[in-house]
Amino acid sequence: MMRVCSRLVLSVSLVIFCLIGLPAIALAQPAPAELAKAVQEIENLDAMRSGLAAYLEDATEPPTAETMRQVCKPVGMKAVKLSQDNGWQVKQMANKYRNPAHEPDTPQAQMALAKFEQDTDLQGFWASATLNGESGTRYYRRISVEASCLACHGGKGDRPQFVKDNYPQDLAYDFNVGDLRGMYTVFIPEVKQALEAAISTS
Ligand code: HEC
């Protein structure tokens, strides 16, 4: 009798274990809708910068210090907003960075930049990642240099005065059209993925 009983307890606990364990399997990948949203937001962000840079290039009046600032700074601000709104961590990174906050933050990020450098057809990819001890998934998306970028990322001496003044350790110059400028990254923490999974199954 005892034996039957303990077997029963064992199988019940096995079932419970599996039920609890299942969402953990679902956690390995964020919901496809969330991945699609991250991809779309990054496309929007990139289009915003291209649009602002092209507008500046086409402007008939000489750009003022103020209009000059309105290209890449807003991209950084939008990245912060996207992070806050979605529970992600959205960042721009580059080996030749202008703002030191955009230095690659993990060995994986360095490898991702090397991958983009080697494979010029690679536009973006996902990989598992650990950030500040938290595990999750990270999206990496290429940033390419366009003609309109050269006004501020071209020859060292040709950089606008505000860049020379504000970024004494600037490395983000001497680029050519088509070069890899850097990448966007979107980190989706597993905790967030767990919440999404719970919401979608309830
Ligand atoms: C009007 C000047 C200007 C133009 C034009 C411009 N940038 Fe920038 N860019 C900057 C400045 C200033 C920063 C640093 C912003 C900051 O402090 O976060 C920057 C930063 C960046 C960064 C973040 C990494 C880093 O180096 O700090 C990327 C990526 C970037 N630019 C790409 C581009 C691309 C791509 C284009 C063209 C589509 C472009 N930029 C056009 C001025 C410009």
Burial grade of 45 (CB within 10 A; 0-12, 13-18, 19 or more): buried
Say if residue 3 is in the same domain as residue 87: no
- 21 has pLDDT over 60: no
| Domain range for 15 | 1-29
Say if residue 21 is in the same domain as residue 119: no
pLDDT of residue 4: 59
Say if residue 127 is in the same domain as residue 156: yes
Say if residue 18 is in the same domain as residue 90: no
Say if residue 105 is in the same domain as residue 147: yes
Is ligand 1 within 6 A of the CB of residue 54? no
pLDDT of residue 14: 52
Is ligand 1 within 6 A of the CB of residue 146? yes
CA–CA dist 8, 85 (Å, integer)? 47
Instruction: Give the count of domains, the chain.
Output: 2
Say if residue 96 is in the same domain as residue 159: yes
Torsions phi, psi for 185 (to 5 deg): -130, 145
- Name the E strands within 6-100: 89-93
Least confident stretch, 26-30, 47-51, 103-107: 26-30
Is ligand 1 within 6 A of the CB of residue 151? yes
pLDDT of residue 25: 45
Is ligand 1 within 6 A of the CB of residue 99? yes
Burial grade of 90 (CB within 10 A; 0-12, 13-18, 19 or more): buried
